[in-house]
Amino acid sequence: MELRDIKSFIEVANQRSFTKATEYSYLSQPSLSKAVKKLEEELHVKLFDRSTRHLELTDAGKIVYRQGKQALNLLNELPNLLNELIEIDTGEIKIGIPPLIGTLFFPNIARTFHDQYPNVKLELVELGAKLIEQLVEESKIDVGLIVLPIDELEFNVYPFINDEFVLYINQDHPLANRTSIALSELKDEQFIIFTKDFALHDFIINTCKEAGFTPTISYKSSQWDLILELVASNLGITLLPKSIFEKQNNPIIKTISLQKPSLLWQLAIVTKKDAYQSFALRKFLQMFTNDSKFI
């Protein structure tokens, strides 16, 4: 069934005459007749009652006419829908964000993007950075906010922000009065860290090993606020980005700067290389190519 045959049939039905339809369709009467006959043969029905002065649609013809009109209307809307998409009036972006990054930065990211493109939906997937990286690689999400480093042969990387790690400690801890501390001095402490699905899990363990010791892990959690509550209960210490301190409100938690060399939390936006990028996604990524900051 060809679209041009349906158009020809609808024009004949509108004019109730092959002769009049030629004036509006700029097709010859034999061409219109051939198109209608072809449809009738393909559908195994009669579309017109030819026994009257003017052509009348049969019951089958009325169904084909109605459905054909709907199909043409949908196709006629296609350019407008594509124009809306190109101009970012509509669309959807699936974004993977670890909970910690989401808490700190996503509200400002979402607000900034929404102000410019209010009809684009942002769907948030909250998982650890390792899983986010995997979902981007498998094309199950469009974009991910992750912790560097990452394989730049597999991903497009848009550096996002750097933050400094500090020690979070209970105010009654023996080390609480220090203004700075070397990482090696924490070798006998109980660490509270993220679970292994999170990039910070490996980062903290590897950083401690580079400082000459393997950390003793007392608790693991997928929630940064629970980690800090455990610190507040004097059940251990943790290393987390400095920016988290403004988000927590427990007065008995202190932060202590780490002595040189500083530990940096490097974040980036990543997409899969060679993957299709929608118009909406391209506009989203542009926010991270102009030195935009969302702290």
What the chain holds in terms of domains, given with CATH numbers, is 3-86 (1.10.10.10), 91-156+270-286 (3.40.190.10), 161-265 (3.40.190.290)
- Rounded distance, CA 152 to CA 59, Å? 63
Dihedral over Cα of 18, 33, 43, 52: its sign: positive
Q: Tell me how long the chain is.
A: 295
Q: What is the pLDDT of residue 276?
A: 84
Whole-Å CA distances, 272 to 74, 108, 133, 288: 33, 24, 9, 16
pTM of the predicted structure, to 2 decimals: 0.64
Within a 10 A sphere around the Cβ of 185, how many other Cβ atoms? 15
Q: pLDDT digit of tens for each residue in the chain (295 aa)?
A: 788 888 888 888 888 888 888 887 778 888 888 989 998 899 899 998 888 778 899 999 899 999 988 888 888 777 766 765 666 667 889 999 998 888 888 898 999 999 988 988 999 999 988 899 999 999 899 999 988 888 888 999 998 888 899 999 999 999 999 999 999 999 999 999 999 988 899 999 999 999 999 999 999 999 999 999 999 999 999 999 998 998 888 999 999 999 987 788 888 999 999 888 888 898 899 888 765 555 4
Whether cis (ω within 30° of 0) applies to the bond prior to 261 is yes
Question: Distance between terminal CA atoms of the chain?
Answer: 57
